[in-house]
Amino acid sequence: MSPETAAAHIEIQQVIYRQARGVDWGDAAMVAGAYHPDGVEGHGPWTGLGRDYAQTVAARRKEIEAPTQRHVTNILIELRGDEADVESYYIAYPVQVTPEGPVRLFACGRYLDRFEKRDGRWAIARRLSIIDAHRAELPGEPWPGAAAFPAGGQAV
């Protein structure tokens, strides 16, 4: 692997992690920065520009008090010059607002991304979010020891 290809791998990984942090933190600008201006997000029932998705997801985040997390694990990258096919596995603990109150879900899936490098910057040209395994609720009670640790927050 050439130094240039190694750099592309690291840069693409960091874009994926920033997008996840942006969603968990409710930071629209951070999410939007992961996409090209015409980059598309296919998110289940929602498909549209990544930049519009950023606004939608950040607004939805503010409806939920509890921290959320999406963990990105395997990141498979196939580079072809200034384009790359990228498949990223994730494990997510989102929260859904229901009439009975907020419920912690569990979902495992993949982001199928087409990355493009434009003006020296790698960003998402198209993302399709896939769900492979899921549960309507992450069962059990919170760990009592958690009280001694700071909990995650969100953008103000």
Distance of alpha carbon 40 from the chain centroid:
14
Reference 123, options 46, 56, 28, 30; nearest CA is 30
> Shortest gap between Cβ of 111 and another protein (angstroms)?
12
Residue 88 CB partners (closer than 8 Å, separation 6+): 16, 72, 73, 74, 75, 76, 110, 111, 113
Tally Cβ neighbours within 10 Å of residue 82: 12
User: Which range in 20-28, 78-86, 110-118, 124-132 contacts another protein by CB under 8 A?
Assistant: 20-28
Smallest distance, another protein to C-beta of residue 126, A:
21
Q: Which stretch binds another protein (CB under 8 A): 13-21, 39-47, 55-63, 77-85?
A: 13-21
CB 42 to another protein: min, Å: 21
Nearer to another protein, 54 or 95 (CB): 95
* Phi-psi domain of 148 (left: phi exceeds 0; alpha: psi -120 through 50; beta: other): alpha
Q: Is 42 in the site for another protein (CB under 8 A)?
A: no
Q: How far is the CB of 60 from another protein (least distance, A)?
A: 17
Integer Cα distance of 28 and 6 in angstroms: 29
Whether 155 contacts 27, CB under 8 Å: yes
- Contacting another protein (CB under 8 A), which of 62, 71, 118, 134? 71
- 142 touches another protein by CB under 8 A: yes
Give residues in contact with another protein (CB under 8 A). 3, 6-7, 10-11, 13-14, 16-18, 20-21, 24, 67-73, 91, 93, 104, 138-146, 148-152
